[in-house]
Amino acid sequence: MSKPESYYVVSNPLPAEEKRLTVLFAGESQTKPEHRLGPKVYDYYLIHYVISGKGVFSSQGEEYALGAGDSFIIEPEQLISYVSDESDPWHYCWIAFTGEQAAPSVSATGLNPLLPIIHTTRNRHIPVLFRHIQQALKAKKTNAQLKSVGYLHLLLGEYCEALASSTAAGPITEAESDRIVQQAIHYLSTQYAEPITIELMAESLGYNRAYLSRMFKRHTKVTPVTFLLKLRVDKAKLLLRERLELTIEQIASSVGFYDPLYFSKQFRRWYGVSPTEYRNQMKSL
């Protein structure tokens, strides 16, 4: 059963002249199957948000299949067209705005003619902000300009954050990779005495354990497990030499080893002697 077609638009009751940024109008529509607009150009900015259904947006010779939660932006004088799906026509809302601050405000989000779409499926704030803009204009009060522009700034801020997140999720640079490894080293160096695991570290940094381990080894030539083990043994060596009042068991516990026998085994592996033998050597110096 097809959804009934609907169309609603509300305009700013105040004139747009000489304002740095002005919301011209906002609206919402349940389109009919294969409803098409364009090819055409506008002399203002338009942002559409797809509430439900599907459609295709075309700009700069590219076609973008969009669905619920997606947005697309139309810049002034850009030749565009968009058409709703034949079987599941989209229901979308939109906002039109203009002014000398419109272009820099849009540019600050990361949206541009070469990147005119954004996937915001999980962002619940965006459709709410569209509705707030509609309500501010519909009220036709003297604060319509201030409120609608305020909500527009918040909307662009949400798009900026969403685009930044999607970029961060992509391939990382060598500098970013090095920064993440340095974070891992700092994590291990400050928490070596705690019952930490590489899984916990990876989770705290927001990366898959296997991926983080590969990155760590590429930068340091050792795995995080080996790095942590050597770090603990080195700290124990320092305590064996400087804290003679501590027992071997106390030192083992102080550096994150909770099995004294395992600690002794690892210490011998790295230094060729047991912790007791090393301490006796230090006493004889």
Phi, psi of 62 (to 5 degrees): -110, 145
**How many other C-beta atoms are found inside a 10 Å radius of the C-beta of residue 206?**
9
- CATH 2.60.120.280 segments of the chain: 6-168
CB-CB contact of 25 with 9 (8 Å):
yes
- CATH 1.10.10.60 segments of the chain: 174-284
Separation of alpha carbons 25 and 251, rounded Å: 71
- Residue 179: its pLDDT value, please? 80
As a CATH number, domain 6-168 is 2.60.120.280
pLDDT at 128 over 60: yes
Per-residue pLDDT tens for 16-32? 666 789 999 999 999 99
* Cα-based distances in Å from 151 to 121, 156, 162: 19, 9, 17
Separation of alpha carbons 221 and 214, rounded Å: 10
CB-CB contact of 60 with 81 (8 Å):
no
User: Of 217, 180, 222, 231, nearest to 201 (Cα)?
Assistant: 180
Of 88-92, 93-97, 184-188, 280-284, the poorest mean pLDDT is in 280-284
Per-residue pLDDT tens for 32-90? 999 999 999 999 999 999 999 999 999 988 888 999 999 999 999 999 999 999 999 99
Quote the strand ranges of the chain, DSSP E: 6-11, 22-30, 36-40, 45-52, 54-59, 62-67, 70-74, 80-84, 91-98, 117-119
Confidence of residue 2 (pLDDT cuts 50, 70, 90): low
Task: State the DSSP H helix or E strand holding residue 275, giving kind and residue range, or none if neither.
Answer: helix 275-284
Q: Which residue has the tokens 């541009």?
A: 112
What size, in residues, is the chain? 285
- Residue 172: its pLDDT value, please? 60
Cis peptide bond N-terminal to 39, omega within 30: yes
- Residue 162: its pLDDT value, please? 80
Q: Which residue has the tokens 């968009």?
A: 82
This prediction has a pTM of: 0.59
Confidence of residue 255 (pLDDT cuts 50, 70, 90): very high
CA 46 to chain centre: 25
- Residue 129: its pLDDT value, please? 95
pLDDT at 151 over 90: yes
- Residue 4: its pLDDT value, please? 83
- Residue 171: its pLDDT value, please? 58
CB-CB contact of 158 with 110 (8 Å):
no
Phi, psi of 118 (to 5 degrees): -150, 135
User: Which residues 6+ apart lie within 8 Å of 181 measured at CB?
Assistant: 215, 216, 219, 220
* Percentage of the chain lying above the pLDDT 90 cut: 64
Contacts made by residues 197-204, CB under 8 angstroms, sequence distance 24+: 198/224, 198/225, 198/228
Per-residue pLDDT tens for 210-220? 888 888 999 99
Separation of alpha carbons 116 and 58, rounded Å: 10
Average pLDDT of the residues of the chain? 89
Fold for 174-284, please state it.
Arc Repressor Mutant, subunit A (1.10.10)
